[in-house]
Amino acid sequence: MIKMTVEISEVAASPKNEFGVGVRVHTNVDHRTVPETEGATFVGLCLAINAYMHLRGAVGFNCLRQDKLDG
């Protein structure tokens, strides 16, 4: 199973964020145990979110990128 959380919140508009909305996509995925069909569906959803965000001007948005958190 893949769990995906999408957080959408208003933020201050700026040259880097002309629409004033922030989006964060968080997932817990263990790629070693996820069936291929679930993984393909997950990637398809992420690509759709990326395409929408790119159309809205957030060309650097990529919810398939893995962020490393300190701590």
This prediction has a pTM of 0.75
| Tens-place pLDDT, residues 9-29 | 888 777 666 677 788 888 888
**Is-contact 29 42, C-beta < 8 A?**
yes
**Is-contact 50 64, C-beta < 8 A?**
yes
| Tens-place pLDDT, residues 33-53 | 999 999 999 999 999 999 988
Nearest to 23 by CA among 68, 55, 62: 62
